[in-house]
Amino acid sequence: TPLLAQTLLLFYLPASLGIQITGWELEFNFILLGKDITLTLFNQAILIGIITLGLNSAAYQAEYFRGAILSVGEGQITAAESLGMTRLSGIYHVVLPQALRRVIPSWSNEAVYLPKYTVVVYFIGVKELFREAFYIMTHPTIAVDPLIIYIVIAIMFLIMISLISKGLDILHKRTGIPGL
């Protein structure tokens, strides 16, 4: 199902079933330059966003790991057992190290997609980059061309995704086996 549908379902389902989710707010109130400011670090919408993005990403990652484990081959377990290892020990010491090396490129794809998917939580009221951009564009005292705001957001996403991608490329190179 689409991520937006999952997010909206998890956000509105508890209320429609009469379930109240309370006690998840973490706010700080303070005065800065004579103005009362409330900084919300955590609330119900953020919790639902984290759960939805986490479950959606976990489903994809489970398939990536399953495919990587299956790609190692049954012969590796047989070889480990012939060396006197138990099946569980063979999986832990032989199969998983190979599978984890093989899953890094797929995991990199998911890690790059996840920041892009955060835009979906905008629809349940989470203040993410696009919500803040909308606030800036509609604020009466701020006169900025919307194109400039969206270019800045695109650059922020580009930097964030480039850092994630580069970090996982370094990890992939460090865990690689020379000659393979």
What is the percent of the chain with per-residue pLDDT over 70, rounded to a whole number? 96
Q: What is the pLDDT of residue 166?
A: 94
Between CA 130 and CA 180 the distance in angstroms is: 43
Domain residue ranges in the chain? 3-126
Q: Out of 25-29, 43-47, 70-74, pick the least confident.
A: 25-29
For residue 164, give both structure tokens: 């994630």
Between CA 6 and CA 2 the distance in angstroms is: 6
Q: Which pTM value belongs to this model?
A: 0.76
Please state the φ and ψ torsions of residue 18, each to the nearest 5 degrees.
80, 15
User: Which tens digits make up the pLDDT trace of 132-159?
Assistant: 888 888 877 777 888 888 899 899 999 9
| Domain spanning 3-126, CATH architecture | Orthogonal Bundle (1.10)
User: Which tens digits make up the pLDDT trace of 40-67?
Assistant: 777 788 888 989 999 999 999 999 999 9
**Residue showing tokens 């976990």:** 58
How far is residue 80 from each of residues 10, 11, 73, 86, 97, measured CA to CA in Å?
45, 48, 12, 8, 13
Q: Residue 107 carries which side chain, given as an amino acid letter? A: W
